[in-house]
């Protein structure tokens, strides 16, 4: 039995037997758009769950939410001052102070002509009053106050429902829950919220040349920066349960790491996905019965991108709502695998273009795109290559300037950049043209 949310594209692909996959695994390079569409259509939104509101930050709403209460819920004072009847106030006229209404329980007091009630910000408006005079605009005179200004009806009074009407939609399914969204839900008395699933992720960085930062480097070795990069990018997507390990470029080491990693919803393997003799990831995945859906995408940087999946019986690795009742039929556990190029900039770009939308979809997000910002291009650019090219650059004060070496190993330039500009094949852009820049921070 398949998961109920299993989609037709993946369904069709899953009927291929593994033997068939091994021999007829896709080796055709596909377009970037095709790759993104296939990835997004293949991954499955994880079951939604209820979490305490305080833990909902950066998750995606799993249902629409509507206001239970108007906001403000009752007429109240916008200032510390005096509640009055505007028509009974004259500039320099005196009013008798008849009591006090702080913020808190409504004392159900009434103001009449010639009277004022001491009131504080957020306190309910007493009956009869239709305006508040701020305390700075009165002069106390014994038990009276003299009003120093003209008063208009409605002044400094916050009307029930002026901000939000009961029944109004306050949060749409698939929308990210931000700090202010949480505050709004709290203001409506919601203690819990239904959010999309929380995928677990495993990162494997492959390469005999890699050394963990903090350790000594031998000649020919480099520090592993991709596992740090990919973990941080995962965290930015809202994934917090992340395991990281290193694999040598040998079959046994890779098999062990992949078998452990496939227990997560998402497995990201960095390096070893290209065509060299030491690029063993694709074969290791096939040997472990992964279905490879995509291998190689026409994008620069990032051509050796791989996408596949494992499907095995067993409880969902995150312990979430099972796909079938326990004891009745086997449960399916799915792991989506992404093989990213080892070059750091390629790993970064392919993560943003293919992995990020997949994760967001698994988490129940509606908007899978990076934020796009219009900018003036600082220098002319041409793509005379045969793949769309993502230029790394810095967007500042409305101007986008390519930074650093536009090469896939050039991590320093990437660290100075904050946006990507996509140049289609054959596209030529002139300095000062207005372009759309994809922002990631």
Give the residue at shortest CB distance from ligand AMP.
342
Residues 316 to 345: which contact ligand AMP by CB under 6 A? 341-344
Q: Does the footprint of Mg ion cover residue 174 (CB under 5 A)?
A: no
Residue pair 378/399 in contact by the 8 Å Cβ criterion = yes
- Token pair for residue 147? 């009003």
Residue 312: which residues within 8 A CB-CB, separation 6 or more?
Answer: 262, 332, 333, 335
Query: For ligand AMP, which is the closer residue by CB, 366 or 415?
Result: 415
Cα–Cα distance measured from residue 258 to residue 266, given in angstroms and rounded to the nearest whole number? 11
Counting residues that bind ligand AMP (by CB under 6 A) gives 19
- Token pair for residue 372? 């796009």
- Closest among 334, 400, 390 to 362, alpha carbons compared: 334
Q: In the set 270, 309, 383, 418, which binds ligand AMP (CB under 6 A)? A: 270
Q: In the set 81, 197, 207, 308, which binds Mg ion (CB under 5 A)? A: 207
Helices (H), 15-165: 18-23, 32-42
Cα–Cα distance measured from residue 40 to residue 9, given in angstroms and rounded to the nearest whole number? 10
Cα–Cα distance measured from residue 384 to residue 381, given in angstroms and rounded to the nearest whole number? 10
CB of 409 to ligand AMP, least distance (A): 6
CB of 234 to ligand AMP, least distance (A): 15
Q: 């080892």: which residue's tokens?
A: 342
- Residue 337 phi/psi, 5-degree rounding, is -110, 135
Query: For ligand AMP, which is the closer residue by CB, 162 or 275?
Result: 275
- Closest among 317, 420, 326, 300 to 362, alpha carbons compared: 317
Residues 198 to 217: which contact ligand AMP by CB under 6 A? 205, 207, 209-210
Q: In the set 81, 126, 238, 272, which binds Mg ion (CB under 5 A)? A: 272
Residue pair 292/306 in contact by the 8 Å Cβ criterion = yes
Q: In the set 21, 42, 200, 226, which binds ligand AMP (CB under 6 A)? A: 226
Query: For ligand AMP, which is the closer residue by CB, 174 or 271?
Result: 271
Q: Does the footprint of ligand AMP cover residue 238 (CB under 6 A)?
A: no
Which of Mg ion, ligand AMP, none lies near 210, with the C-beta cut-off 5 to 8 A by kind?
A: ligand AMP
Q: Does the footprint of ligand AMP cover residue 231 (CB under 6 A)?
A: no
Residues 271 to 310: which contact ligand AMP by CB under 6 A? 271-272, 274, 279
Return residues touching ligand AMP (CB under 6 A).
205, 207, 209-210, 222, 224-227, 270-272, 274, 279, 341-344, 409
């Amino acid at each position: 039995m398949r998961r109920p949310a299993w989609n037709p594209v993946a369904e069709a692909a899953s009927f291929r037997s593994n033997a068939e996959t091994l021999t007829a695994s896709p080796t055709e390079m596909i377009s970037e758009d095709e790759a993104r569409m296939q990835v997004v259509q293949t991954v499955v939104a994880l079951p939604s769950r209820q979490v305490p509101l305080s833990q909902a930050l950066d998750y995606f709403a799993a249902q629409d939410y509507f206001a239970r209460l108007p906001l403000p819920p009752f007429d109240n004072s916008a200032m510390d001052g005096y509640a009055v009847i505007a028509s009974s106030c004259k500039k320099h006229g005196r009013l008798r102070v008849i009591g006090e209404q702080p913020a808190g329980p409504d004392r159900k007091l009434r103001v009449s002509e010639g009277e004022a009630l001491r009131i504080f910000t957020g306190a309910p408006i007493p009956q009869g009053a239709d305006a508040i005079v701020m305390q700075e605009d009165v002069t106390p005179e014994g038990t009276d106050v003299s009003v120093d200004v003209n008063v208009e009806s409605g002044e400094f009074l916050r009307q029930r429902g002026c901000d939000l009407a009961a029944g109004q939609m306050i949060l749409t399914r698939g929308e990210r829950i931000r700090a202010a969204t949480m505050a709004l839900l709290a203001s409506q008395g919601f203690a819990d919220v239904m959010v999309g699933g929380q995928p677990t992720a495993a990162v494997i960085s492959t390469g005999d040349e890699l050394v963990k930062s903090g350790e000594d480097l031998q000649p020919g070795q480099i520090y592993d920066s991709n596992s740090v990069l990919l973990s941080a990018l995962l965290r930015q997507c809202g994934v917090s349960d992340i395991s990281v390990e290193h694999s040598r470029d040998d079959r046994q080491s890779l098999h062990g790491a992949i078998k452990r990693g496939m227990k997560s919803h998402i497995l990201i393997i960095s390096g070893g996905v290209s065509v060299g003799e030491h690029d063993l990831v694709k074969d290791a995945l096939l040997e472990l019965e992964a279905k490879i859906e995509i291998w190689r995408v026409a994008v620069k940087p990032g051509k050796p991108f791989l996408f596949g999946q494992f499907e095995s019986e067993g409880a969902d690795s995150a312990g979430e709502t099972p796909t079938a009742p326990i004891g009745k039929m086997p449960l399916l556990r799915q792991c989506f695998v992404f093989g990213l190029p080892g070059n750091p900039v390629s790993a970064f770009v392919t993560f943003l273009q293919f992995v990020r939308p997949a994760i967001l979809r698994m988490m129940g997000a509606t908007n899978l795109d990076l934020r796009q910002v219009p900018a003036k291009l600082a220098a002319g650019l041409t793509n005379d290559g045969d793949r769309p090219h993502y230029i790394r650059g810095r967007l500042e004060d409305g101007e986008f300037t390519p930074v650093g070496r536009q090469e896939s190993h050039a991590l320093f330039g990437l660290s100075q950049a904050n946006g990507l500009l996509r140049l289609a094949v054959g596209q030529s852009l002139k300095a000062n043209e207005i372009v759309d820049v994809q922002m990631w921070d």
